Structure formats: C-alpha cells, structure tokens
Structure 1
Amino acid sequence: MTKDQKDNLFLLVKSLTKSEKRQFKLYVGRLGVNQDSKFLSVFNVLDKMKVYSESLILKSTDVKKQQLANVKAHLYKQILISLKLNPSHQNIRSQIREQLDFASILYHKGLYKQSLKILDKAKELAIVNEEKNLAFEIVELEKIIEAQYITRSISNRADYLTVQAKELSELNVITSKLSNLSLQLYSIILKTGYVKNEEESKAVTKYFNDRLPKLELSKLGFREKLWLYKAHLWYSFLMQDFLNCYKYALKWVDLFYDNPKMINLNPVFFLKGNNYLLEALYFIKNKPKFINKLDEFYTVVNQSDFPKGENIEALVFLYGNFHKINQYFIDGSFEEGLLLIPQIETELIQFNNKIDAHHKMIFYYKFASLHFGAGNNQECINYLDKIISNKSLSMREDLLCFSRVLNLVAHYEAGLDYHLETLLRSTYKFLIKMNDLHEVQKEMIKFIRGLQDIYPQDIKKEFRKLLEVLKQYEDHPFERRAFLYLDIISWLESKIENKPVGQIVKNKYLEFYA
C-alpha cells in the first residue's frame, strides 16, 4: 500500500542528514546483536526509497506483515534517541533536563547532598536562561529532598525555597495567561483574518481586555515580555492597526537584540518576530525601513553561529522569500518581482514536507498578484486556480475570498468573458457562504456583471463611477482590508489613465514619500 510520503517514520528518515544517518548506524551498531536487526534493515530500505511503499519493505526484509507496525515503532524510537544524543540537537534546555534527571537518580539512591548540589547549578542555569518552568520543577524537587533530609546548608533554606517557588509560580502563571491569549488571537487571525465589522471588533477587544493580566513591566523577564508583545501584536493585526503592529513587532525583535543569547536559545521566535516586523512595515509602506530590516534579518541568519536545522532553514526560506516579494508590491515594481518566482518555486519543492499548505497558497497568491500587476493575466489565473481548486484548504478564509475576486478581475482583463457569468455566480455564492460579502466585493461583482451591457465608448465613464464609489471605503476601518489583498483602486486608475498598474502604484509611492 502506497501512502506517498505521508508515513511518519518515512518522513523522519528522509529528514535525516548524512551525519545523522551515520551516527544512527553507529548508535545501533554499538552491540553486535543489532547489526542484522530487523529495525535496521527496515531503516536501510526506507533510506533508499523515493516514495513510501509498505509492500517493498516486506519484500526487501524478513519482517512479517504482522510484525511491521512494532518494528517501525521501535525504529522510530531508536532514531529519536540517536538524535537526542547528537551534539547538534543539544541546547540549554536539554542540558538542564539532563542535570534534573541526574539529580533525581542521585536522590533515589539516597545521595541527597550530591543531588542538591546538581540541582542548585541546574536551577541557576535555568533562571539565567529564562527557563522558569524548569526552574520551578527543580525547586519543587529541592523541597521534596529538604522535607526528607534537613541539610542545614542554608539556615533559612525552607523559607528561601518557599519564596522562590512562589515567585517562579507567579511568573509562570503570567506567562501561561499571556501565551493562552496570544495563541487564541493568532488562531482567529489564521481562521478568519482581520475583523470584518463593528460587532467582531467589539468582541475581539472585549476578549483581549478581559484576558490581559494586570502587569508591572519592570517585574517581567524576557519570557513574559515576549508573550506580552505577541498578544498585543496579534490584537493589533486583527484590528488592522498597523502602526501598533510595527510598534510591538519592533519591541519583540529588539528584546532579542537586547538579550542576544536568547537568539540562539529561541531562534524560531526571533525569526517570527522579524517576519511580523517586516509585514507591518510592508502595510505602512515604509520601503527604506523595510529594506533595512530585511538586510538586518539576513545579516543575522547568515552568521556562522546562528542555529542550524531543517525547521530553521524552512522558516528562513519562508519569511525571507515572502518579504523579498513584498518589497516589489510597496512601490509597484512588479516586473522585477517576477524574476524571483522560478527560484522560489524550485525551492518550494525542496521544502515540500517542511511548509504547510496554507503558506504554499500564500506564495501562489503573491505570484498571482505579481503577474496581475505586470499585466500577465493568464499566468495570474493559473496560480489562482491552484488556490481555488484546493478543496482541503480550511485556513485563511480571507485568502480564499480575495483569490476569487482577483480571479474575476483577471478573467475580465484577459478577455476571457465567455464563462464570466458562471464565475460571477460561483464567486457570489462562495462569498455569501463565507460570510465575507462586503461592500467592496458587492460593488466589484455588480460592476463586472454590468460590463457586458456597456458600449466601449462608455467604459471609462463606468470605471470612474466605480472608482468614486470605492474611494469612500479606502480608509473605512473594516472595508479597507479588501485593498490590502487587491489594490482595486490602482487598477481602476490604470484603466482610466491608460497606464500600467505598476506605474500608478509607483507614482503613489513617490508622492507619499515626497
């Protein structure tokens, strides 16, 4: 039975580097009995496979079908143990956990003083590196030992441990509340995008204010501040308050620059902070600062001491390329942006198993928008079809909606009006189903439907009428989000002035910064 690269063990084997594979074979070969073990033979077959095939495993090894599930489970566990022992996967957290394990072993052997000595060093390491959950766990074990064996190493040790446990517990509770709030807001962004109306705006604001704990910033450490800035950032994004998005994303990134050792300990959070900082700068159209921050991003991630790994490489690819593309939208230089597409598509294949479908669809929407801006309407339609035909995509409803609206406009521009009426009906039904039929979309659909009955000499007059209608929504708190995904205003102006869309966007950008 073929599962086409969806088997978890197969994906894990394929993610291993040459050095990790070599270490695994050394690890399982440390005892001669493993040399011909069934799980090692399964590993060797999986390593050579291009596509997962259960029948090929059974044919190439002496593993029976009823044994395969157990052998695979054992192999999966052995690979993880091998990876855990690999120096490249060792970090402060694993070092602290290892010391905690050693201390627990010593405690159970009755060697209390030795256990407490290790715990004290591990606790200091945990606190310095903002690993307060681990620090709390260490203090709790210290309390257990003290309750059974009075060391008298510190005269007021019981009071000291009690106070320390209370302080760590309070900070962990704050972090938990902030991380819960941040995660819930992020979930709303992924599911529905920005707030769509006054009712949603009030609901999100109430949700945010009710769950934001009362804080004294001066008493917070790195970890608590990080989650605080994240929560504010997601709230600002939901409300389309892009200046505050920039403010809190900058605080997030600067927090890492003020605590440089945290970049190595939390590289994913560092990368995500930079991603949202660049996204905020893109929305406020500040290209000089955008280019500066993009250069800073690559300067840091290209340093030899920046953490390496498959997940890190995938995120650098993802965020870096999103914003390489975005820079061309700011000033309308779409033609230049098209040069990026072939290279990114090639790399997308390489990162196929590391990047989720949602982010792949965002790439396709950006590719489509670049082609639309450059006047390549058929190419635009081809990329949009990859999104529209993806029936399993359940996230980012706003992305799905605006893909259909852009698809309508691109079909009109390409002169493919022979099935425009069918497209109009399906788009209209989809937007109603998604509860996303707002004034901008209504006006666009009504306009495109009416184009078929307009004489050629009257077309510009109709474009001007639509432009006047849509202009009133350009700064509307809820309707303006349509223009973040699709710059309809610039498209209309290009039709009226007989100029390329890119030229209209560039003129606006230059005028804005003049």
Structure 2
Amino acid sequence: MAELQKDFLFVLIKSLTTSEKRQFKLYVNRLGINIDAKFLLLFSELDKMNEYDENIILQKKISTKQQLSNLKAHLYKQLLVSLRMNPSHQNYRIQLREQLDFANILYQKGLYKQALKILDKTKQYALELDEKSIASEIIDLEKVIESQFITRSIAGRAEELIKQSNAVSKQNQYTTQLSNLSLKLYSEMLTHGYVKNDEGRKEILDIFNSQIKNIKPFKLNFTEKLWYYKAHVWKNQLLQDYKYTLKYAFQWVELFHQNPEMIASHPVWYIKGNTYLLKILFLYGNIDILEKHFGNFNKMVNSQSFAQNENLQSLIFLTHYNTLMNIHFIKGEFFTGTKLIPEIEMKMEKLRDKIDEHHFMIFYIKIAAMLFGSKKYNESLEYSKKIIESKGMVQEDLLFHTRILILMSKHESGNDEDYDEFIKATLKFTHKMKKPEAFHFESIDFFKNLNNLVLNKRQEAFENFDKKLSIFSKNEYYRRSLFYIDIHGWVQSKVQNVDVIEIIKRKVKYKKRN
C-alpha cells in the first residue's frame, strides 16, 4: 500500500480504464513512434504489475537506473496528454483553456482578427459560466492584441475592454478574499479542531470578521456567494453553532438549485455542499428532513445530466455511505446497518487510490460503532484497533472516542485481559492531546474505577457518570465530543436497564415532535 502511494506513475496507470489504455496506444501510434520505444515498453510492464517493483524494470533492461526517472516523467506526460484528448475528460474549463491556447497560436502567427474573434466568443462563454479568472486572462490577451492591431473602433473598443477589465478585477478581488477566508477557516478546523473555550471562539471570530466586514452579500454573483456560504459553514462548524451551520449549508445547496446550470460547472462543490448539509441534519437528528435531502441528493448525482468521473464517484461514495450509516445510527438500526459493511469495504478497496486514509478511518469508526450496537463486541474491537494503529490518520478527538468505544466493548464482552494496561495507555494518550478537557479525564476515571467495583456498586457508578455527562452535554464546547460515540446513550441504557437501541429511538421520537 505504501509503495503504491509513492509512485504516481504506477497509480495513474492502474487508474486507467480499458478504453483509456486503448486510446493511449492509438495516440502513440498516431505520433508514428516506434512500437519498441522505451516508454511504451515501460507502460506495458507497469500495466502488468500488481505492485510497483522497480527491480523488474531494471532486470528486463527497459531502462538503466540513471535513465529511469526521465523515462517515467516522459511516460507520465504522454499519458496526461492522451487523457486530455479523451472525450470523457472534456469539460468546459478544458474547452475554455483550449480556445485561449488557439487564440494565442493565431496571435503569434500575426492573425489578429481571427484571434480576437475566438477570444470574444470564449470570453462571453467564460462570463456566463462565472469563470472570472479565465475571463481575466482573455481580456489581458485582447488588450495586448488591440494595442498592436489598430482598427477604426479602437476608441470604443478600448473603453469596453477597460470597463470589462475593471469589473472582472473587482469580482476577482471578492472571490480571492472569500476563498482565502474559507481556506483559512478550513485549515483551522483541520489543524486545531473545534473551538473549546471562549478564547478560541474570539480568535475565530476575529479572523472571520476582519475579512467579511466589507463584503455586501447582495452584490455578489454565483461564485462569490458560493465562497461566502462556504466561509460561513466552516466558521459555524468551528464554533459548533449548528443552527447557523445548517442555515448556510442549506443556502449553499439552494444556490445550485436556483442556478441548475452551475451544477454541471461545479459538481464537486455541489456534492460538498450536500455533504455538509446531510452531516448537520444528522447532528440535529431530524430523520424526516435528512431522508428527504438524501433522496434529493441521490436523484441528482445519479441523473444523466450529472457529470461522471473517478473523482466525483469517490466523493459521491463518501457522502452516500456516510449518510446512509448516519440514518441507521439515528434510527438505532444497528443490525440493518451491519449488512452494509461488506458492500462498503468492497467499494473502499476499489477506490483506495482515490480516497485518503483519514476518510477510510472514519468509515472504520462508524463500522466499529455499528458492530457495537449490534452486540458484536469482538468484531467492533477489531475495527477499533485498526483506527488507533493508524499512526495519525485521524483527528485526536476521534482517536480518543475510539478508545472509549474499545473500553465499552471490553466491558460488554468481558474481554478485559489487558483492560488496565489499555486504561494506562489511554491516559498517556490523553495527556499528549493538544487540548485535553475535563470530559476526557472524567471518562477515563469512570472506566478505570468501573472495573474495580463489585457488581452491586457498578449501578451507582453509572448513575453518577450519567449526571456528569448531562452537565457536559449542556456545555456548548463539549457538545461535539458527545456526538462521536454515543457514550451517554450507553450509560443511560445501563442506568435505566434497557437496550441502548431503546434510548436512541426515544431521542428520535422526541426530535420528531420538536
């Protein structure tokens, strides 16, 4: 797995479909290249391999050690050129770039009129699609050509180009501001996680307000609004303000529904918007609305009009199956949910080179929790151990809660052979966390003491811990922690002496009424 990830050329070749391989060979033949050319021999050899092995290439004398790097680079470039020509990879951005390239070629040949005609047509198309960066490049080239090719309409033409240039420049400024802000907030979320105190909240608000204060939403066009909503979604996620996360995630998705032609232009952001919307609806636990939006999402991404490529397929897979599992969690349908596991793992393996390990670990966490809910404690332990052995592929909060799930599974299964050692390791891990909280230490103390109590004292321990968890759940900064693994629902089931599924179903009924 590690070797496969290191060699980009091998990964690219293994991602090719049969038709893409056939087109590559046709492309090479059209170039009139000798069939025994070294880069073709390298392509054939890599295509046969199941795992990348440089020694085989050297043993077969396809290349020397010194030449191999250059040969691989040449093959990589030729593959990309071939893929660029493939109709399945054509999209409007590639077409716009292609037209701009054509205009550049005509300009260099001194065919100014022809170049300007292509540029004008391409510019209108770019502006319609809200592709301001490309439009800006087109206007810049128009300026260069107009300054060399004098026409009778130069005065009016100059004013027109200046006006267009200023308008696009201002729009690009808004887009840059908003996209930088969105990226900064997203980076904060990945690096430091959700805010855990008032000081962290103030830092995020200062970053956000300093960038957003001069932005007037009613003046924004599609792309600017898209970045505007993204920034608000990520800010409110950081602040754990789910009411406003839901508001802006909904506006993000609705923006596409109001401009359906943009779904084809920005399919990735359509999927991402739905991902956040479906995720926040899960956290709210409103099953009716969640299932409605999930149905709308599936209908759109499976329609004939929706773009299809490997990247989109992997994103759709993540959103679809994460949401499907979330729906089973809300309903407490653990046994039904476990039936998805073979299907998910099969698709995970198929998309292994297209999805990062972090997302795989998220699936393992959900699978482990689903198996726990189905009372398959030993299987839950197996998946949980994959996560804590992942060497930093998962956020520390998720790693901590996986450890809690392991302790819950050990308690339920009676598999406490290394229970005390695992408690010590978990305490050591918690001390190394960036910002450990009272919730983390209280949880460890609970499990540490639980194993040493006689049976008639354990009920009292569950009751006391239930009270502490109720206090934590009222604190906005701890709220997120209690969503990962439903430790509170498990503790309540022990206090009330009912199955944890009953606790979950009661929550669903309560939220439906509200």
Q: Same fold (TM over 0.5)?
A: yes
| 1:35 CA drift (Å) | 1.9
Partner of 2:291: 291
Partner of 2:414: 415
- Give the distance between the partners of 1:117 and 1:213, measured in 2 at CA: 41
- Give the distance between the partners of 2:471 and 2:19, measured in 1 at CA: 60
- Deviation readout 1:303-356 (Å, 9 max, x if unpaired): 123211111111111111111100011122222111111110111111111110
Q: Which amino acid aligns with 2:466?
A: L
Partner of 2:440: 441
Cα distance 1:429–1:37, how it changes in 2: closer, same or farther (>3 A)? same
Partner of 1:247: 247
2:409 is the counterpart of 1:396: no
- Give the distance between the partners of 2:313 and 2:102, measured in 1 at CA: 33
Alignment of 1:340-351 (within 5 A): 340-351=340-351
Preserved contact between residue 334 and residue 373 of structure 1 (Cα < 8 Å): yes
- Deviation readout 1:339-385 (Å, 9 max, x if unpaired): 11111011111111111010001001111111222222222211110
Partner of 1:356: 356
- Deviation readout 1:229-277 (Å, 9 max, x if unpaired): 0000001111111121111111111111111121112111111111111
Partner of 1:511: 510
Cα distance 1:87–1:128, how it changes in 2: closer, same or farther (>3 A)? same
Alignment of 1:213-252 (within 5 A): 213-252=213-252
Partner of 1:466: 465
- Deviation readout 1:405-435 (Å, 9 max, x if unpaired): 2222222222233322221221112112113
- Deviation readout 1:456-509 (Å, 9 max, x if unpaired): 112212211111122111121111222111222211111122211111111221
Question: Aligned to 1:306, what secondary structure does the other structure show?
Answer: coil
Alignment of 1:139-150 (within 5 A): 139-150=139-150
Runs of 4+ in 1 over 6 A off after TM superposition: none
- Give the distance between the partners of 2:62 and 2:459, measured in 1 at CA: 75
| 1:108 CA drift (Å) | 1.9
Preserved contact between residue 226 and residue 252 of structure 2 (Cα < 8 Å): yes
Partner of 1:126: 126
Partner of 2:208: 208
- Give the distance between the partners of 2:269 and 2:225, measured in 1 at CA: 13
Q: Which amino acid aligns with 2:506?
A: N
Q: Which amino acid aligns with 1:248?
A: Y
- Give the distance between the partners of 1:481 and 1:113, measured in 2 at CA: 61
Question: Aligned to 1:355, what secondary structure does the other structure show?
Answer: coil
Alignment of 1:155-166 (within 5 A): 155-166=155-166
Alignment of 1:8-19 (within 5 A): 8-19=8-19
| 1:68 CA drift (Å) | 1.7
Partner of 1:457: 456
Equivalent pairs, count: 512
| 1:439 CA drift (Å) | 2.2
Partner of 1:482: 481
Question: Aligned to 1:156, what secondary structure does the other structure show?
Answer: helix
- Give the distance between the partners of 2:235 and 2:284, measured in 1 at CA: 17
2:422 is the counterpart of 1:386: no
Return 463-472 or 63-72, whichever deviates more.
Answer: 63-72
- Give the distance between the partners of 2:369 and 2:192, measured in 1 at CA: 21
Q: Which amino acid aligns with 1:334?
A: F
Preserved contact between residue 368 and residue 381 of structure 1 (Cα < 8 Å): yes
Partner of 1:67: 67
| 1:5 CA drift (Å) | 5.4
Q: Percent identity?
A: 46
Preserved contact between residue 132 and residue 168 of structure 2 (Cα < 8 Å): yes
Q: Which runs of 5+ in 1 are unaligned?
A: none
- Give the distance between the partners of 2:265 and 2:322, measured in 1 at CA: 24
Q: Which amino acid aligns with 2:157?
A: R
| 1:392 CA drift (Å) | 4.3
Aligned CA RMSD, in angstroms, stands at 1.6
- Give the distance between the partners of 1:153 and 1:104, measured in 2 at CA: 22
Partner of 1:424: 423
- Give the distance between the partners of 2:435 and 2:423, measured in 1 at CA: 15
- Give the distance between the partners of 2:32 and 2:328, measured in 1 at CA: 59
Preserved contact between residue 226 and residue 252 of structure 1 (Cα < 8 Å): yes
| 1:139 CA drift (Å) | 0.8
Q: Which amino acid aligns with 2:343?
A: Q
Preserved contact between residue 249 and residue 277 of structure 1 (Cα < 8 Å): yes
Preserved contact between residue 192 and residue 396 of structure 1 (Cα < 8 Å): no
2:140 is the counterpart of 1:167: no
Q: Which amino acid aligns with 1:368?
A: A
- Deviation readout 1:155-194 (Å, 9 max, x if unpaired): 4221221121111111111111111111121122223331
- Give the distance between the partners of 1:412 and 1:94, measured in 2 at CA: 57
| 1:61 CA drift (Å) | 5.2
Partner of 2:318: 318
Q: Under a length normalisation based on structure 2, what TM-score does the superposition of the two structures give?
A: 0.96
Q: Which amino acid aligns with 2:509?
A: L
Partner of 1:369: 369
- Give the distance between the partners of 2:465 and 2:392, measured in 1 at CA: 35
| 1:213 CA drift (Å) | 5.0
Question: Aligned to 1:110, what secondary structure does the other structure show?
Answer: coil
Q: Which runs of 5+ in 2 are unaligned?
A: none
Return 75-84 or 468-477, whichever deviates more.
Answer: 468-477
2:175 is the counterpart of 1:189: no
- Give the distance between the partners of 1:230 and 1:5, measured in 2 at CA: 30
Partner of 1:176: 176
Return 263-272 or 214-223, whichever deviates more.
Answer: 214-223
Preserved contact between residue 334 and residue 371 of structure 1 (Cα < 8 Å): yes
Q: Which amino acid aligns with 2:351?
A: F
Partner of 2:256: 256
- Give the distance between the partners of 1:69 and 1:453, measured in 2 at CA: 61
- Give the distance between the partners of 1:214 and 1:404, measured in 2 at CA: 45
Partner of 1:500: 499
Question: Aligned to 1:3, what secondary structure does the other structure show?
Answer: helix
| 1:132 CA drift (Å) | 0.3
Preserved contact between residue 405 and residue 441 of structure 1 (Cα < 8 Å): no
Return 40-49 or 412-421, whichever deviates more.
Answer: 412-421
